[in-house]
A and B are shown apart, each in its own frame.
Chain A
Amino acid sequence: MPDTLSIKRVSASSSALIPLESLRSGGPVYSKLVDISKCIGCKGCEVACKEWNDLKVEQTTNFGSFQSHKDLTPNTWLLMRFNEVEDGDDLNWIIKKDACLHCEEPGCLFACPAPGAIVQYQNGIVDFNQDNCIGCQYCVSGCPFDIPRFDKETKTVAKCNMCIDRVESGLEPACVKTCPTNAIEWGIKEDMLAQADKKVERLKQRGYEHAALYNPGGVGGTHMMYVVPHGDRLEDYELPAHPTASPGQLRGLNFLQRIGSYLFGFGIISALVHFLAVGPEIPDENG
């Protein structure tokens, strides 16, 4: 079956509420699988990402870490984060691939008010369409992983697009292609889940008893999954233990908006009915 770009959800449309599943499901659903225990810290993936996506190079400075950039930016969609965490007498050197996780239930898309600015495809990719972006940055506060970055020049947001143009042509994303140790794998999500099980098992045999797969249910699972050696210490990886695609405030907002549309209609109709019932109260100019 050819890889198509069938749409699943579009921001600020009915498909944000009811995904276009019944019509177009059935194609391949992909996932990246990141096994950080295999990462040698070469940052080849960062370079490949910049190259393939033609992203502007940014001046970096040494801030006492192995890490290249301090943070993600509109032109840096992938950042290998290096953290030194003390573990009793031991020192853990924690590496994390920081980039969009391509959530199955994308908080960014649910939060976005601009029709068509964020699109989710049936294959699992969540992409921003800057042409339709209005620059409100609601996606930034809607994302539980702090991924989208606002570009002050273009007044739009940007993030990893999973090399959608490569995937569409049957290729793996650039970071996957370049990784010399296979720390980043790519394939059908089900196969990646099976692969992850094996990796977790192997890590456990090596003594990482809390090794786990990070594929959080609060966002319906992700299309970039992590195998984490220390699954009991997600905070060391700066991975939220319970991310959610619809935080309480936004659920409240959606609820208010729904009843609000009825209340506004009710208000206008009430005024009309009142006018028909009692009419205008006209002062008696001769009284």
Chain B
Amino acid sequence: MSTPLLRRFSFLERITHWVVGVTFVVLLLSGLAFAYPSLFWLTTFLGGGAAARVLHPQIGALFGVGIVVMFVLWIRDMFLDARDREWLGAIRHYVAHDSEKVPPAGKYNAGQKLFFWVQSLLGIVFVASGLVLWFPEYFSAGLLNTARLLHYAATLGGGLFLIVHVYLGTVAYPGTARGMIDGKVTPAWARLHHPRWSGDRVDH
């Protein structure tokens, strides 16, 4: 059977997303290695502690570029409207997979939109505090220590959101990950998760 597939993400969107995704995961793991002595061994994957310390900020710079491109590509679709607020009001039905009671989402549901804004904000915190830590000779001890605190706070926030994001994008909603891989999703997937968006597409 060959149902026509819907195109969800362009090549540019996918490559940008994966630059951000892959760099973020590498940064998260090497960053946690610096935060937790019991995880220091994770630096082995980047060639040891000293190499990890050199690479972490360089990969961070790539992440920073990626997050800016992602922001520009997606901001248009990410403003919350009245129906998104309804969606947030009914979030417990979404969590319980009670799809009939979930107000229909557009291309992104309100949770995804909030994730976008949170990651963009954290991106700024990551990059700003990361730059301070990258060039410590230019900053005071107090500012450096503050940067360490902020950098970790962003890690905690970003890491926790990432767990939810990866869970939802892979095992919780089969068919979602494909949209970020070859850019396509099935009409049934779109009707279930993004009815307002699927309407846009399927009707013509």
A→B interface (CB under 8 Å): 12-13, 16, 113-115, 132-138, 140-143, 146, 150, 155, 247, 249-250, 252-253, 256-257, 260-261, 263-264, 267-268, 271, 274-275, 278-287
Contacts and interface: CB of A to CB of B under 8 A. Distances in A.
B189 interface: yes
Interface string B105-130: 00000000000000000000000000
A175 B190 CA distance: 76
A263 B10 CA distance: 35
Contacts of B152: 253, 256-257, 260
Contact of A256 (B40, B133, B146, B153): B153
A253 B144 CA distance: 12
Contacts of B192: 281, 283-284
Identify the 3 closest CB pairs spanning chains A and B, nearest first: A141-B144, A283-B188, A249-B145
Contacts of B14: none
Nearest to B172: A280
B52 A134 contact: yes
Contact of B97 (A16, A115, A257, A278): A278
A150 B138 CA distance: 13
Given A134-B53, A136-B53, A253-B152, A146 B141 contact: yes
Contact of B186 (A260, A278, A285): A285
Given A141-B144, A271-B163, A132 B49 contact: yes
B173 A281 contact: yes
B148 A253 contact: yes
Contacts of B40: 12, 113-115
A286 B188 CA distance: 8
A46 B136 CA distance: 27
A13 B37 CA distance: 6
B168 to A, nearest CB: 9
Nearest to B139: A141
Interface in B149-171: 149, 152-153, 155-156, 159-160, 163-164, 167, 171
B145 A247 contact: yes
A145 to B, nearest CB: 10
Interface of B: 3, 34-37, 40, 43, 49-50, 52-54, 95-97, 99, 133, 136-137, 141-142, 144-146, 148-149, 152-153, 155-156, 159-160, 163-164, 167, 171-175, 186, 188-189, 191-193
Contacts, number: 129
A249 B146 CA distance: 6
B50 A140 contact: no
Nearest to B175: A283
B27 to A, nearest CB: 15
B58 to A, nearest CB: 14
- Overall SS of chain B's interface: helix
Contacts of A286: 188
Contacts of B35: 113, 257, 260
B125 to A, nearest CB: 13
Contacts of A281: 97, 99, 172-174, 192-193
B37 A12 contact: yes
By CB atoms of chain B within 10 A, which of A13, A137, A281 has the most?
A: A281
Contacts of B3: 285
A150 B53 contact: no
A3 B185 CA distance: 72
Given A134-B49, A155-B50, A280-B171, 5 more contacts: A141-B136, A150-B137, A253-B149, A267-B160, A283-B189
A275 B97 contact: no
Given A136-B34, A280-B173, A249 B156 contact: no
